[in-house]
Amino acid sequence: MKLIHSIIKPDATVISGRMGREVERAKIAVMEALKNKQVVVISSGDAGVYGMAGVVLEVAAVENAEVPIGIIPGVTAATVAASKLGAPLVNDFAVISLSDLLTPWGQIEKRLEAAAEADFVIVLYNPQSPGRTEPLTKAHQILLRYRNPETPVGIARLAGRDGEKIAITTLKGMVDAEIDMVTTVIVGNSKTRVVNNRMVTPRGYDLAQA
C-alpha cells in the first residue's frame, strides 16, 4: 500500500477495497469508468492469477458496460518465490489455491491428487490463515501418499517484499514451517533436489556435457 501511494498522482482518488468484497470493488471500478474516468484496479502480484482481472471483466459484462479494459501482467508469487528458492519451476508445474472459500474442497482435493500423481511440481497459493488450517493439513497428507517424505519443499514468505523469509525444507518437515496467507509453498517433483542450498528441478539436460 505504501509503495502504491508513492507512485500514484497526487490528484488521484484512491478507493481502498477489502478482502471478500471483490465484486463490490469491481463494480465501483466499472461505474467510475462509465463516468469517463481512468480507473486502475490494483491486485498484489499478477492481477490475472487469482486476482481481480476476471471479476472486473465479468462485472463489466453483467453491467453491459462498454468500457475498454486493459490488463497488465505482473510477476506472480509462483515465479518470485521460485527465483528466491532456486529453480524449482523449470519443468511442468501446477498452481493450486488451498482457499476453499470460493472453490469446493472436493475440487481442490481432486486437483492435488492429480498433480501429485502425475509428478507436477506443485505451487500452493493461499496455503493457510489463522482460521483455516485444515486444507494445508489435508494437502500434506495427500502429497505424502504420492511423494517421498524427503522431497524438497520451498517456503517463501513475502517473497520479494519487505520482511522476506525463504526456507527450504522437506515434505516431511514442512509441518514445522511458518506458513500463512503471504506464503507461497513449492513442492518439488520426484526429481527436484537441493543443490548448494537451492531447490532445483532438472530440465533433463545431460550435465556430462559440462
Binding residues for its own copies restricted to 41-70, rule: CB under 8 A = 46-51, 53-63, 69
Nearer to its own copies, 73 or 149 (CB): 73
**Segment interacting with its own copies (CB under 8 A) among 107-115, 134-142, 146-154, 170-178:** 107-115
Cβ neighbours, 10 Å, residue 70 = 5
Work out how close the CB of 43 gets to its own copies at its nearest, in angstroms, rounded to a whole number.
Answer: 10
Residue with cell 480507473: 39
Distance CA 1, CA 54 (A): 22
**Segment interacting with its own copies (CB under 8 A) among 105-113, 131-139, 141-149, 174-182:** 105-113
Nearer to its own copies, 154 or 169 (CB): 154
The residue length of the chain stands at: 210
Binding test (CB under 8 A) with its own copies, winner from 129, 158, 160, 164: 160
**161 binding its own copies? (CB under 8 A):** no
Binding test (CB under 8 A) with its own copies, winner from 2, 9, 18, 203: 203
Binding test (CB under 8 A) with its own copies, winner from 120, 136, 140, 174: 120
Binding test (CB under 8 A) with its own copies, winner from 10, 130, 163, 204: 204
133 contacts 175 by C-beta, under 8 angstroms: no
**168 binding its own copies? (CB under 8 A):** no
Nearest to 40 by CA among 13, 59, 66, 18: 13
CB-count exposure of residue 197 (10 Å: 0-12, 13-18, 19+): exposed
> Dihedral through CA 24, CA 25, CA 31, CA 37, nearest 10?
170
- By CB under 8 A, the count of residues binding its own copies is 74
**182 binding its own copies? (CB under 8 A):** no
Cα distances from 174 to residues 16, 113, 141, 187, in angstroms, run 35, 18, 11, 10
**138 binding its own copies? (CB under 8 A):** no
Nearer to its own copies, 169 or 188 (CB): 188
Work out how close the CB of 159 gets to its own copies at its nearest, in angstroms, rounded to a whole number.
Answer: 9
Nearer to its own copies, 176 or 210 (CB): 210
| DSSP secondary structure string for all residues of 70-118 | -------HHHHHHHHHEETTSS-EEEEE---SSS-HHHHHHHHHHHHHT
